[in-house]
Structure 1
Amino acid sequence: MATELRVLGPVELRVDGRVVEVGHARQRCVLAVLLVEANRVVTMEQLLDRVWADRLPYKARNVASNYVSRLRRVLTGDVAVVRRSGGYVLEVDPEAVDLHRFRRLVEQARGREDAQALASLEEAAGLWRGVPFAGLDTLWLAAVRTGLERERVAARLDRVDVALRCGRHTEVLPELSALAEQDDLDERVAAQFMLALHRAGRTAAALAHYRRLRARLVEQLGTEPASALRDLHQRVLDADPALTPSSAVISGTAANAENPVPRQLPASPWWFTGRGAELTRLDQALTIEPEQGPQRTSTTGATVVISAIGGAGGIGKTWLALAWAHQRAEQFPDGQLFVDLHGFSPTQEPMAADVAVRGFIDALGVDPGRVPPGLDAQAALYRSLVTGKRVLIVLDNAATAGQVVPLLPGSPTCTVLITGRTRLASLIDRHDVRQLTLDVLARTEARALLAARLGADRVAAEPDAVDELVDLCGGYPLALSITARTAATHPGIPLAEVAADLREFGLEMLDHDTDPAASLPAVLSWSLRALTDDQRTVFALLGITPGPDTSLPAVTVLTGLSSARTRKALSALEEASLLERRPGGRCAMHDLIRAYAATTARDLPDEVREAALVRVVDFYLHTAYAADRLLAPTRQPLDLAPPAPDVEPHPLRDTETGLAWMKAEHVTLLAAQRAALALGRHDVVCHFAWALDTFHYRQGHRRATLVAWQAAVEAAAHLPDPTTLSRAHRLLGYACSRLSLHDEAIEHLDKALALAAHHHDPIEQAHTNRALAYAWELRGDDRQAMDHARSALDLYRTLGQPVREAIALNQVGWYAARLNDFDTARDHCQAALTLHRTHHNHEGEAATLDSLGLIAHRTNDQQQAVTHYQQALVLYRALEDAYRVADTLDNLGHPHIALGQHDRTRAIWQEALELYREQGRDHDAARVQQQLDDFGSVLGSTSV
């Protein structure tokens, strides 16, 4: 069996290509220590220090011995851990360990001819799969990791030196360009880059790079370039013929392979984690089923598949493309081409297509004198060069289809990956591009990324803080990486403190003054450059509009633009991956993108922002009120002020459309109420609470009801109308009652009653007495409840309000039944039913039928009880009053038990239980669950 042991990336044991599970993180640390010291004794003291340092476990030696024993069980015959005096030795062929093979190849290259040395160094580079010991975090491994990175960089630069001596300057140019950008003060890299540029016929660019480097050295370090670099600069100026490799050198390296194999992929991203589904989709891009077009399938099994990886800045497009490209590089034996098209860059304009094509032509080994002039001719030459070859082409950071189209090969043996923030619609339409849009990382993937950056132990030690960091970053890869960098550079600070800072300062924690690529706001800002003024304004206003998502009508009102201009702006934002289109015509932003949009809104004039918020708040209020009038036409109407100019409520045809709109906009409506409070529009705040009340009650949104009326009480205190304050206290007290906040309920209701009495408002007194009756019922005092119910009935009768009189009649009847005064109960409820039916008040009719069901059940008329409850259910379901449906189902089960209809009882209570759970009514759910359990026990004992 072939065994591989890997540490240049995640620690892995592979047998015949299959990964063998080693164990948890600490056990992998033990294996890592033994692998670094392969075939050398690691003493027990060294092992304990390198794995645990000063945080030794209880009975540390026994723990370490147990870990070694477990490793022995998973290692194969040609790899063994052997006990030696004072410690352990991992006996293994060094060639089976990637680290030792890497070092052997690098050392071997130093004594070989250039061609052989280059092959060794390229093989060594291919052994790296990311961060050494990824996901493991000990002080010793961190130090080893730093040293290995230095070895990797040195080997990379050695490889470039050899490649330049071999005349492969065009092949390494893209890599050198990236290296020079990453470390703009490294003189060795600068020399290599200048030489490659000069040999590729780009002497002016070589000299310009020297001037930029010299200026940076003088400005930042106060020094001139070293003599070696100054000498190279002078030789380039003098066109020293010795700088040009001889034809013999070129023929000795590339003439034996007339078409050099480009290996232009940048290094695989160290911290790449997750994205399993996306990687699978990219794998599928290599194979097209026959029914999708047999003409598209080649004899090699590869196909023309262009996968455009879209997504907002910092979402991980390039990481995904490079990770997949490195994993599948062996499937492209004729090379991998890579170009950063700078579509969204802080310092550069998007790369012109002719520059990118020329770079590919150079990398494919074409003599500069043979390159034809003009983009079309060069693109044709490029396509000819890759025809019939299995080449992977990665086009990173594309801004337009115009950049991409000349770089698309015509051969069905090539595969192209495109990354960009825009959808590049014309590519999809004309070139059969497969679109892969990235979303944020799943929670498990986000945690894995933090574990890879911070170490599994540190993440495991503070699980709650890690969860909060994941939530605050919203799974956004760049935000997670920035947060991880902050935490990693401050190892002594608890992650809970990092989370607290991120919670308090938000985007400020994800900014970076000196490195735009490491700043989420800066990365996002690059997407705004191509937008029009309208589109940037819409983006900014979407950052401050109420609610987690929105609709086209609401955005049209928010912006004050025409519907057509609004739609065009939203399409542009979606195209730029700044906005997501959701089902139902709704639009949403990731929380961090939205936070950035809100910061750009600060650049708008104050009056523009406020006018936009006033318009959209009025739109939501007036539409919500129209919906409420459809849901409860007999409710007391409000005297609303007209909406802002040019604001029209969303048209609602009937009760169904009104209810559907309220469901879709519920969270946004609560946010709009908060926005009104922030704007100081206190009357609007109170009107929102009223307009939402019926919907909240019927849908069982008890907590939302409480929040809405708490805001209303706060706002009503600023209004001159005492009735508004009394009503707000009353309805807040009622909301508290439904949440079993009994003391708070009575407190608010007593305030409401006192206000109503002080201002001689009999209607509010009547309403408040009804609410107090309900509150005292829930406190278990039915007689006190009856007193308040009778007071409400007397007041309604004097006011001549028959519908409210009917409601109070039913309430008195209900409490009479609970007090076993069934004649009084029946008389009052029958009178209430007549009034409700006369005035077509279906909600009151249903409530009264429910009361009559209770009376019939308590007087042993079970069939009549079933009939009343079923009639109430029909009405409540028609009203979509889920709250009362649950209560009536609960009640209906009892007469069915009395009638011996056991299956029916179980089904009814099961439905009630599900509704209670959906509504968060935990106490009621527990009670019904107990009823079901008791019911099952009785049936079980009876059957025995």
Structure 2
Amino acid sequence: VLDSVVADVSEHTRKLYELLGILPGTTATTDLLRATGAARVDEALGELVSSRLAVLVESPDRPRRCRLHDVARSHARLRARALPESGRRSVLRLAVDFYRDAAAHADTLVFGDRFRIQPPPARPLSRLSAKEPLFVGRSDALDWLDAERVNLEYVVRTAAEHEWHEDVWRLCESLWALYHSRKHLADCVATGRLGIEAAQHGARPDVEIRMRNQVARAAYELGDLDHADAELAAAADLLGLAAEPRLSGVVWETRGLIALAREQHDEARELFERALAANRAVPDPHGVVVQSYNVGQALVAGGRWTPALDVLDAAADVARATGDAPMLPRIDLVRARALAGLGELDRAVAAAVAAADGAAEIGQLAKFDQALTLLASLAERAEEEPLRAAYVEKLRALRQSMGLRPPAEGTG
């Protein structure tokens, strides 16, 4: 039946159908289709939809997306296997190139000037799309990454299968922007293993340290501290082979977070201060802000509210001076906890509201979740039950949209 349907469509539509059978993932944008060699894309896509072979897909990001029906996808892949191997490999090469560069641009928009091992993408963002940009701004870039999440995982696996090792680890490094911001932590562990193997194949100890640290961070957030410790121990063994001082800093930072999870507050602060010194030595302003924020977290966890505020205020000044806007909601969130510890509830609420507003504006849903949780707790302390209930309801809706469990009744 499908053979007869495909036989009746125009040649350029048939080629697009077979192209969709080659591409990794489950959906495709018109920009990806053009980047991988499709011609007359809009016309061909319209014919696939009218022939009931494909459907348009709703997504929160900007590009127009399509997917083949499940049976049609299997049929398209079967037809694609009959095509020459060199042609299929060429299409996959173009797809990996497209996603590698697009993910790198998205990462830059989300995290600004954070430390990266990979060079900037050779192609500007404007060259990856025919009409409007793939994404504009931090929130838009995160939405694009999230909409492409399944495709990107397929792309990483495709690059690994073809032994395109540099593409594997570059994609993994860029995807930290998505995994960390939207908490797709199991995905981070799965693709991170491929990143580690790619670094080993390429004899890149610096990259292996970075990949192991990302897996360790994901394991830490999943509550698997033993796994995180094991990854960090392997990364630390390689530090003598890497000249970049910030790699020591990222390992010390993650060790500090694990110490904080184990309520070893003084040890955590010392590790964060070592990471801070490594970033000051470069100097790396973003790294200085991040590690100052971490020092503030450790001080708050240890009940040292006033010193924490001093550190956090200095970090916020650097963030504003350097345009490091994504860090400001994080800093405000910890400031709110310090102010609450001092009993200054009005100032704590103001800081938590600023954190929630800032996180929502740039799509940091995990931090928005934390800010709402804190606001509900502060409202409960102030005996403002209607306000607490409103925050809990917002939090419930947010967690439902993120696929997370709702907050327990009465806990805020």
Q: TM-score, normalised by structure 1?
A: 0.40
CA deviation digits over 1:338-385, x for unaligned, max 9?
xxxxxxxxxxxxxxxxxxxxxxxxxxxxxxxxxxxxxxxxxxxxxxxx
Question: C-alpha distance in 2, partners of 1:718/1:906?
Answer: 53
Distance 1:848 1:741 in 2: 26
The aligned residue for residue 201 of structure 2 is: 718
2:232 and 2:295 map into 1 onto residues whose CA distance is 19
Check conservation: 2:272, 2:294, Cα contact below 8 A. yes
For residue 591 of structure 1, what is the amino acid of its counterpart?
A: D
Q: Secondary structure at the match of 1:674?
A: helix
What are the superposed Cα offsets for residues 86-115 of structure 1, whole Å, 9 maximum, x if unpaired? xxxxxxxxxxxxxxxxxxxxxxxxxxxxxx
Whether the aligned pair in 2 keeps the contact of 1:701 and 1:919 (CA below 8 Å) is: no
In 2 relative to 1, CA 711–920 (structure 1 residues): closer, same or farther, beyond 3 Å? farther
Query: Equivalences for 1:487-502 in 2 at 5 Å?
Result: none
Task: Give the 5 Å matches for 1:561-576.
Answer: 561-562=38-39, 564=40, 566-576=41-51
Residue 54 of structure 2 corresponds to residue 556 of structure 1: no
Equivalent positions of 1:817-856 (< 5 A) are: 817-856=300-339
* 1:376 corresponds to: none
SS in structure 1 at match of 2:28:
strand
**1:657 shift after superposition:** 4.2
Query: Residue in 2 aligned with 1:806?
Result: 289
Aligned residue number for residue 639 of structure 1: 119
Question: Does the alignment pair 1:541 with 2:19?
Answer: yes
- Secondary structure of 2:326's match? helix
Query: Who is 1:931 aligned against?
Result: 411
Structure 1 position 642, deviation (Å): 4.4
Quote the offset at 1:780 in angstroms: 3.5
User: Does the 8 Å CA contact 2:57/2:66 hold for their aligned counterparts?
Assistant: yes
Contact 1:697 1:881 in 2 (8 A): no
- Report the Cα offset of residue 532 of structure 1: 4.9
Contact conserved, 1:849 with 1:871, CA < 8 A, in 2?
A: yes
Q: What does residue 377 of structure 2 align with?
A: 894
Contact 1:863 1:895 (C-alpha < 8 Å) held by counterparts: no
Taking the aligned partners of 1:813 and 1:574, their CA distance within structure 2 comes to: 54
Larger RCO: Structure 1 or Structure 2 (Cα < 8 Å, ≥ 6 residues apart)?
A: 2
Q: Is the 8 A contact 1:742 1:779 kept in 2?
A: no
Give, in whole Å, the separation in 2 of the partners of 1:561 and 1:872: 44
Residues 757 and 765, structure 1, Cα contact 8 Å, conserved in 2: no
Q: Percent identity?
A: 21
Larger Rg: 1
Q: Cα offset for 1:548? A: 1.2
- What amino acid is the match of 1:654? V
Per-residue deviation, residues 210-241 of structure 1 (Å, max 9, x unmatched):
xxxxxxxxxxxxxxxxxxxxxxxxxxxxxxxx
2:110 touches 2:142 (CA, 8 Å); kept in 1?
yes
1:599 corresponds to 2:74? no
Task: Give the aligned residue type for 2:253.
Answer: R
Matched ranges for 1:449-848 at <5 A: 523-558=1-36, 560-562=37-39, 564=40, 566-583=41-58, 585-637=64-116, 638-639=118-119, 642=122, 648-650=127-129, 651-652=133-134, 654-655=136-137, 656-848=139-331
The one-letter code of the counterpart of 1:929 is E
How much has 1:723 moved relative to structure 2?
0.8
Map Cα deviations across residues 275-328 of structure 1 (whole Å, 9 max, x no partner).
xxxxxxxxxxxxxxxxxxxxxxxxxxxxxxxxxxxxxxxxxxxxxxxxxxxxxx
Do the aligned partners of 2:22 and 2:91 also contact (CA within 8 Å) in 1?
no
Is the contact between residue 876 and residue 884 of structure 1 (CA under 8 Å) also seen in structure 2? Answer: yes
**Where do 1:88-107 residues align within 5 Å?**
none
Counterpart AA for 1:769: W
User: How big is each residue's C-alpha offset from its partner over 1:435-476, in whole Å with a ceiling of 9 and x where there is no partner?
Assistant: xxxxxxxxxxxxxxxxxxxxxxxxxxxxxxxxxxxxxxxxxx
Secondary structure of the residue aligned to 1:587 is strand
- What secondary structure does 1:929 align onto? coil
Q: How far apart are 1:781 and its partner, in Å?
A: 3.0
What SS does the corresponding residue of 2:237 show, helix, strand or coil?
helix
What is the Cα-based RMSD across aligned positions, in Å? 2.4
AA matched with 1:791: R
Aligned residue for 1:588, secondary structure, equals strand
C-alpha spacing 1:642/1:608, structure 2 compared with 1 (3 Å):
farther
AA aligned to 1:528 is V
| Counterparts of 1:680 and 1:861, CA distance in 2 | 57
1:620 and 1:649 in contact (8 A); partners too: no
Deviations 1:510-551 (A, max 9, x none): xxxxxxxxxxxxx33233333455443322221121221212
Query: Which residue identity does 1:912 align to in structure 2?
Result: L
Give secondary structure in 1 for the equivalent of 2:388. Answer: helix
SS in 2 for 1:529: helix
* Alignment partners' CA distance in 2, 1:918 and 1:561: 35
Q: How far apart in 2 are the matches of 1:641 and 1:854?
A: 39
Contact 1:619 1:649 in 2 (8 A): yes
Tell me which amino acid in the other structure corresponds to 2:296: G
Structure 1 position 773, deviation (Å): 1.2
Distance in 2 between residues matched to 1:546 and 1:617, nearest whole Å: 9
Q: Does 1:873 align with 2:356?
A: yes
User: How many residues are aligned here?
Assistant: 401
How far did 1:760 drift?
4.3
SS of 2:330 mapped into structure 1: helix
Matches of 1:915 and 1:823 in 2, distance apart?
32
TM-score (norm 2): 0.89
Matched AA of 2:2: L
Q: SS in structure 2 opposite 1:717?
A: helix
Deviation, structure 1 residue 561: 3.6
1:782-829 deviation line (CA, Å, top 9, x unaligned): 333223212212222223223312221221122112112233222222
AA aligned to 2:385 is H
CA drift of 1:641 comes to: 6.3
Q: Call closer, same or farther: CA 1:580–1:913 in 2, change over 3 Å.
A: closer
How far 1:865 moved relative to its partner? 0.9
Letter of the aligned partner of 2:224 in structure 1?
A: L
Deviations 1:455-510 (A, max 9, x none): xxxxxxxxxxxxxxxxxxxxxxxxxxxxxxxxxxxxxxxxxxxxxxxxxxxxxxxx
Q: In 2 relative to 1, CA 846–526 (structure 1 residues): closer, same or farther, beyond 3 Å?
A: same
Q: Could you give the per-residue CA deviations for residues 575-616 of structure 1, whole angstroms, max 9, x where no partner exists? A: 443323445632221222211211111221111100011112
Listed as ranges, the gaps of 5+ residues in structure 2 are: none
